[in-house]
Amino acid sequence: MVGSALMRLLREKNFTHIITQSKTELDLRRQSDVENFFKTTRIDTVILAAAKVGGILINSKRPADFLYENLLIQNNVIEAARLGGVKTIVFLGSSCIYPRLCPQPMKEEYLLSGPLEPTNEGYALAKISGLRMVQYYDQQYGMKGICPMPCNMYGPNDCWDLERSHVLSALVRKFCEAIDDGKKEVTLWGTGSARREFLHVDDCARAIFLLMEKNIGPDTVNVGYGEDISIRELAELITTKTGFQGKLVWDSSKPDGMPKKLLDISRLQSFGFQPQVKIEEGVDFMIEDFRRRKREGLLPPASAF
């Protein structure tokens, strides 16, 4: 999702020397393959958007996979980039790596100031290690690091698999299919009280490009929308947008995750960034994208929730 948004933006800005590799072409978990790629390909700047990601369900079920595979990906790429003479590496963090009970809004300096959220600890530990690795490589080897810290993202090429998806796409799918199936109620995880910040992936790409243009140092920079919304409010917005008329049932036996995740984006704003896509517009796009994909038979099976 992030990689394709960056590709759209770079092409829009007339960049022509863009090097990409699909997972089938280059498995970033294989150290020798990654090192050979960097040895044989001249690269000045790496944007590491690749990661094993998912929502609260799969993070809770497979923490070892999220820790192991993300460590493999980032360790291989960062070290191979150094060996290959890369000048700059952009490493994407995540707002979920802040402490579970972090003061709000979350400032960059709050990282590592308290215990992590248990439902995504494996992923968070890997991402924290990656951030520190980039900062240490900047310090020790002079390979410049840039570390954007995005909030929850959504948009084109989002994941629609309910076992792996994040909350916004999962809610859109559940309500659209409830309408199609004539359901009178939809059961949702948690209490609905948790608050999240959502940023359209094209806005995220613009922020990343801005940080590269400004040539900032390796200190983390929060990338967000600047406002949050409760999961209950988001669900109600999507029911209105989709036209679902049934009942919402909240299963409080399921986890909410972090109570609140709102980034302090004052540092990013000081560079001139303002998001362009409002959540209402973004939800409209996601509903249309889901319905189009369903018409064209492009959806994975609804295997969870």
Q: Is 123 a catalytic residue?
A: yes
Residue 232: exposed, middle, or buried by beta-carbon count in 10 A (0-12, 13-18, 19+)?
A: middle
pLDDT at 301: 83
Quote the tokens at residue 181: 């199936």
Residue 27 resides in a domain: yes
In this structure, what token pair is assigned to residue 89?
A: 């590496």
Q: Looking at the domain assignment, is residue 94 inside a domain?
A: yes
pLDDT at site 303: 57
CATH code of the domain in which 143 resides: 3.40.50.720
**Per-residue pLDDT at 305:** 42
Q: Tell me 272's DSSP state.
A: T
Q: Tell me if 142 is assigned to some domain.
A: yes
Domain coverage including residue 147: 2-159+197-228+260-277
Calpha distance 45→89 (Å, rounded): 6
**Domain for residue 17, yes or no?**
yes
Amino acid at 167: V
Strands 260-261 and 195-196: parallel
Q: Which two tokens stand for residue 9?
A: 């933006």
Is there a domain that residue 168 lies in? Answer: no
Q: Give a yes or no: residue 289 inside a domain.
A: no
- Domain annotation covers residue 88: yes
Annotated catalytic residue within 68, 98, 110, 123: 123
C-alpha Rg value of the chain to the nearest Å: 19
**Beta strands per DSSP E along 119-184:** 144-150, 152-154
**Domain tally for the chain?**
1
What is the C-alpha separation between 244 and 258, in angstroms, rounded?
28
Distance (Å, rounded) from C-alpha 168 to C-alpha 269?
A: 25
pLDDT in tens, the chain (305 residues): 999 999 999 999 999 999 999 999 999 999 999 999 999 999 999 999 999 999 898 999 999 999 999 999 999 999 999 999 999 999 999 999 999 999 999 999 999 999 999 999 999 999 999 999 999 999 999 999 999 999 999 999 999 999 889 999 999 999 999 999 999 999 999 999 999 999 999 999 999 999 999 989 999 999 999 999 999 999 999 999 999 999 999 999 999 999 999 999 999 999 999 999 999 999 999 999 999 999 999 998 865 44
Beta strand spans in 87-207 (E): 88-91, 144-150, 152-154, 185-189, 195-196, 198-200
* Residue at 79 is within a domain: yes
Furthest C-alpha separation in the chain: 60
